Structure 1
Amino acid sequence: MDDGIFHKCHRGSADAGTEEEETPPNIELGEGVARNHAVVFTDGDKCILFPSCERGATETFVNGRSLQQVLSDLGVEEDAQICRQSEKPEVSGYELQHGDRVIFGRHYFVFVVPSMGSPEIMIASGKVDYVEARNEWQVEQRSAMQRRFSGIHASIFGGSLMGLGAGKSGALQLAERDEVIEAQRAEISELKQQLAAAKAEIRELKHIAGGTLASSTVAHILSGDYRLETSQAGDIKIDRISAAIKKTFTESIDKMMAVEALLSRKQRRATPESGDSAPRPGSILRRAVSEGSRKDMRVRVGLGESEGLAVGN
């Protein structure tokens, strides 16, 4: 195909090989060709290609693929592919088709059936040329190498990467696994941030509760949403407390305990007169009642929709 040398396949057998044999072949080739490389057997209007040795099976290519692979795809076992005689072969081979690109070692040919066109016209028209045939061979070689590497990778790593998706390359599987890991890390980081924000909010609410209740505010617990509200004439209203404290029952109890502790500390600061006993700290409900009485206020502690406790003067 590259230098315009033609070989005609006559009726019978035509051997391809090198001239180093005692009986030279019909088609003498050079580099990359074994002494007894391949056989082309012509029977009527059919030309059948056989390898004559193992090297001929692996280094003879049809349309870019090795003859060994082509015959294997046709169902011919490797032991039955070699034709070791120049007479009519007793094994199955590949029937050449018009326009097939055939490579013996480093020598490129195109098979032409005369009744279907001339090789000069086919090559001149650009339907097939040396560059195209070589590129075709290179593509098939790369594919075969990738298949071999995939087999080696599977034998080494086993099924460790196959769980992520069948039929995908190792690189794609690793990329998918990395994406899953990164997503999990991002989720963990977000949860940590939410936890830190919740802790900071609790600390801030406890601080605000301690500062506002120091001026005799009234605690009001609603059983429906467990809100802590503060109200007193003249005090600054902090609306965000009622909107923010909508957490859990445990958080509400913690805030109530903090309020009681604050009131207890204020009572302990008072200096008792000599001979008098220290005042007994009262609970938040008793203190709320006493302060409400002094300031003419009314307090209601809700225990439910059907129950209640009202305190007034």
Structure 2
Amino acid sequence: SLHICQPKVPPVANTEYEHICGRPLGLRFNNRTGYLYIADAYFGLLSVGPQGGLATPITTQAEGIPLRFTNDLDIDDNDNIYFTDSSHKYQRRHFLQIIFSIENSGRVLKYDSKTKETKVLVQGLHFPNGLSLNKDQSFFVFASDSGRLTRYWLKGTKAGTTETFAILPGFADNIRINKKGEYWVALHCRRNPLTYFLGTRPGLRMALLRLPISAERQYMGMVGGKSHGIIAKYSNDGELLDVLEDTEGKNVKAVSHVEEKDGKLWIGSVLMPYIAILDSY
């Protein structure tokens, strides 16, 4: 498949060959070893050494169920990997089916670096997405299409339990912490009257999904007719600290990732063919 996945002229982004070539969605470096860990939507968890090269598979299943839509990850100090599998029914190229059907087979998983086993921590989720450990690794938070961040406790009397961490103004993607332990959350868009209207009408959602409408048009309807950019910052206690928004989508839109480094915000998107940088934040 080299002629497809490594063409001389890079193809326009589309979903036609994703299942063949792969689609990395979450990236994390292990600062101790220099290894890069990859959450690939189709190939599961992979890693590649400090010198680069071919990525090596780590796990492709959890408790006997294959990973169908590996999304984001984080790594603790013991090299255990916490990650999301957005659905074990639909793949990423069919993400609208997950959104419109409110399909809830998503899971949050843990790969144990010692036993090499992958365990299910949380299941029955609708489109779990971004995930990040907190600074002292006593818990992690993850996003889902329930419109909230959920906290999963790893230590203390609440270990193994979940609770709402924050209510979100839109549809979240990746989550990353800064040096202060604050969370940057990438949001594809704000919720709008249409999403609220469809939220209580599953039959209508499924009817819309069956219409001969392109995925692009369905997506534009979901985001209110135009793409725009929004990112939000939360404290370690789930308090909303800041919201940055490009309401016209002139510079950023459909934000999928935001990373703070040396006073700058590095912003990625599933729609923009570039990485945006916000100086002097």
TM bracket, shorter-chain basis: under 0.3
Q: Write 1 or 2 for the structure with the bigger share of strand.
A: 2
For the pair shown, the structure with the greater C-alpha radius of gyration is 1
Provide TM-score, normalisation by structure 2.
0.21
Q: Write 1 or 2 for the structure with the bigger share of helix.
A: 1
Provide TM-score, normalisation by structure 1.
0.20
